[in-house]
Amino acid sequence: MLKILFVLCFSSCAYRGNPKIKLPEGETHLTISVGRVHKSCLDKFGGKFLTLLDLGMKEGMKCIKQINGEGSKKNRLLLEKLFSSKAITFNCNEKDYFKTSNLSAHASIDTTWNKASLDLIHPYVSINPDYVLSDSEVTGEVTDFEFMKVVLFHEYFHNLGFAHSRTVDYAYACEECCFSFNDVKEKACKVCSTNYSSMSDPRYVKDLLDWGRKSSFKKSIGVEYAFRNALFKKPGSAENLKTFLDDLPSSIAVITAKKLKDLAILEHGKSNENYYDSDPFYKIVQRASDAQIELYVRGSLSKAVKIYYEIDEIPFRDRLKSKTVKDIWDDLLYDMDFVLMILKDSKRMTEYNKLEKKYYEIYNLLPKA
């Protein structure tokens, strides 16, 4: 990759190279064009940090401008507004947060992320104090310096209010679209460029699966959770359900599809049928499918939780080795995991604790990769 040495001049060219920057006595922040930089970043990274901020913004914006689409156009305008608000705070001193996280940085999504004691007021970007900003050290395939530029670009999307799994994931989509050279780049650009009405927009549900499941950020995007969240937010959406059922290879999907058909038949006065025999394993498939219908067709969390509580048959260990059976359990666990997160978010801790116990009971039975 051709690297252009760029020297940034703010008020003067005093930052050439990587000089230490000293703030006047009593000052905690340096004012820059997009906001303010806490002295912790200047102490740790020196003038290099300012170069990095400028490059992250310029290169990211250059890319966003080149992407053709209503979504990227909208986000470009929002980013320009964010930068011209001169409100972003950069901090490199949030030790407690990064003690339990190995992320390179994180950013505020709204004012609920404010930490007044650390002077972190939305919008802010907080960089891991242990990050090494070296031109020679390599993270992935780029130097730590190059990588941090990409990270900053990603964090600005959080400042716009975008969160992983909870909103359309423009942060990872635009990061992968603008800064990667892998074969899912195109799919990432599709998401980055599109203007979705919400994360339950059927176009997003489809594009998310298409991109997210193959993305190198698959885990961080939280594809399974985001996908289920989209369905749950718009229960009964025929288009989203179709994508869901097409995507699930397991018997749960087959049963769910059949039950959905039956629901339609029931409305015309016909009775339900028995899909499988009394094999305990298929009883679980039935339950998992019932829970999916409650969650994604009727949008009833309580009823789904009740169904999970009642799972008491434990499949035979030897059957867990079969891929089909393993897939079914994976799907069931994804659904349960999703429900756990919703319960936690809505602070329904009694149900959460009870269900978590059941979740681990099942999880511990599965062979580990």
Residue 124 · residue 90 · CB < 8 Å: yes
When the beta carbons of 47 and 212 are compared against Zn ion, the nearer one is 212
Residue 359 · residue 333 · CB < 8 Å: yes
**Which structure tokens are listed for 62?**
């250059």
Residue 103: CB minimum distance to Zn ion, A? 8
Residue 7 · residue 51 · CB < 8 Å: yes
When the beta carbons of 171 and 297 are compared against Zn ion, the nearer one is 171
Residue 249: CB minimum distance to Zn ion, A? 29
The interface with Zn ion within residues 284-343 (CB under 5 A) comprises none
Residues in the interface with Zn ion (CB under 5 A) total 1
When the beta carbons of 37 and 171 are compared against Zn ion, the nearer one is 171
When the beta carbons of 171 and 255 are compared against Zn ion, the nearer one is 171
Return d(Cα 90, Cα 115) in angstroms, integer: 13
Return d(Cα 105, Cα 239) in angstroms, integer: 36
Residue among 63, 49, 163, 55 at smallest CA distance from 106: 163
**Which structure tokens are listed for 70?**
């209503």
Residue 77: Cβ-neighbour burial (10 angstroms; 0-12, 13-18, 19+): exposed
Residue 172: CB minimum distance to Zn ion, A? 7
Residue 106: CB minimum distance to Zn ion, A? 7
Instruction: Give the residue nearest to Zn ion (CB).
Output: 171
Helix (H, G, I), strand (E, B) or coil at 341: helix
Site string for Zn ion, 139-178 (x = CB under 5 A): --------------------------------x-------
Residue 44: CB minimum distance to Zn ion, A? 21
Residue 151: CB minimum distance to Zn ion, A? 9
When the beta carbons of 30 and 171 are compared against Zn ion, the nearer one is 171
When the beta carbons of 171 and 208 are compared against Zn ion, the nearer one is 171
Residue 41 · residue 91 · CB < 8 Å: yes
> Contact positions toward Zn ion, by CB under 5 A?
171
